[in-house]
Structure 1
Amino acid sequence: MNRSAETVKDYLDHLPEERRAPIEKLRKTILEHLPEGFEETVSYGMIGYVVSLERYPEGYHASEGEPLPFMNLASQKNHIALYHMGLYAKPGLEEWFREEYEKRVTPKLDMGKSCIRLKKMDQIPYDLIGELSEKITVEDYIKAYEEAMKKRKKK
């Protein structure tokens, strides 16, 4: 990760050559499919797609004054990581993604709670990432986030 990057361009400029093209293609795919209202920025040292504080002034509960994170894209040591918070915010989305990935990609899916680890640069399912990017609107994401926060407060 490039924690010192202040802009997306700076992040991209400091990528190793073998990562630059796939990350630029993923970024382009995400931007083409991302619903209106999300903003691209540098977030947590990665390329981030967030709900801005102007749109959602409450921001992210875990980091006061930070916009609500939705997706992040990062070059890690052994893989490209795509973090998608909607995978566990929207019921059924993770199951859909796992099923579609299995249909389209030969290597087994390597995924944590919200992190998709892409290890084979020549087998990134750009079309599937595009479809995933458009599955949740800003309004739906804010609603799911607020519902999760209400449940958390009740505990």
Structure 2
Amino acid sequence: MTIEAKTPDEYIGKLPKERKEAVSKLRSTINTNLPKGFEECINYNMIGYVVPHSLYPKGYHCNPKLPLPFIHIASQKHYVSLYHSGIYADKKLLDWFLAEYSNHIKAKLDMGKSCIRFKKMENIPFGLIAQLCQKMTVEDWIKLYEKNINR
């Protein structure tokens, strides 16, 4: 399910009614808790939170014309997904998230390497996502990204 949009507001405006509230709340949670420096945009046809070229001129190694990605929100066919690059790149952060998840939501975690899938909107752990967003600054992410990319 690809949503063509130029802004996060337009993206949310194109969502099915049953997803608008949850994705809006997820977006608000991220915007409220993400450290300064990350920038909200549309990236890869999703709502993205990136390190802008003004802070990291090298951009994303797969396509240096793109800013360095960090978090994305997407409405897929059967679920809403939250992609968090920090969880993928930092085992300590992943372990923290896995240990905390069951303290917030009793439903089984549906997760890939960086993708957390929510099939039921009522199972989105907004409080946990708020905490997750606070765990890594732009500087932390750049340092970790460069450490991992230069292996």
Q: Per the shorter chain, which TM-score range? A: over 0.9
What secondary structure does 1:12 align onto?
helix
Distance 2:57 2:3 in 1: 25
Runs of 5+ unmatched residues, structure 1: none
Structure 2 gaps, min length 5: none
User: d(CA) in 2 for partners of 1:104 and 1:51?
Assistant: 29
Q: 1:30 is matched with which residue?
A: 30
Number of matched pairs: 151
Aligned to 2:128: 128
Residue pair 1:2, 1:14 contacting (<8 A) in 2 also: no
Tell me which amino acid in the other structure corresponds to 1:73: I
- Taking the aligned partners of 1:4 and 1:124, their CA distance within structure 2 comes to 24
Q: Does residue 104 of structure 2 align to residue 104 of structure 1?
A: yes
Output one character per residue of 1:33-91: Cα deviation in whole Å (capped at 9) or x when no partner.
00000000000000000000111000000113000000000111111000000002223
- Equivalent residue number for residue 91 of structure 2: 91
Q: Which residue of 2 aligns with 1:18?
A: 18
Runs of 4+ in 1 over 3 A off after TM superposition: none
RMSD: 0.9
| TM-score between both structures, scaled by the size of structure 2 | 0.97
Partners of 2:3 and 2:14 within 8 A in 1: no
Q: Given the two structures, how large is their TM-score scaled by the length of structure 1? A: 0.94
The CA distance in 1 between the partners of 2:4 and 2:25, in whole Å, is 22
Shift of 1:119: 1.1
Q: Which secondary structure state, in structure 2, belongs to the residue aligned with residue 92 of structure 1?
A: helix
CA contact (8 A) 1:89 1:141 kept: no
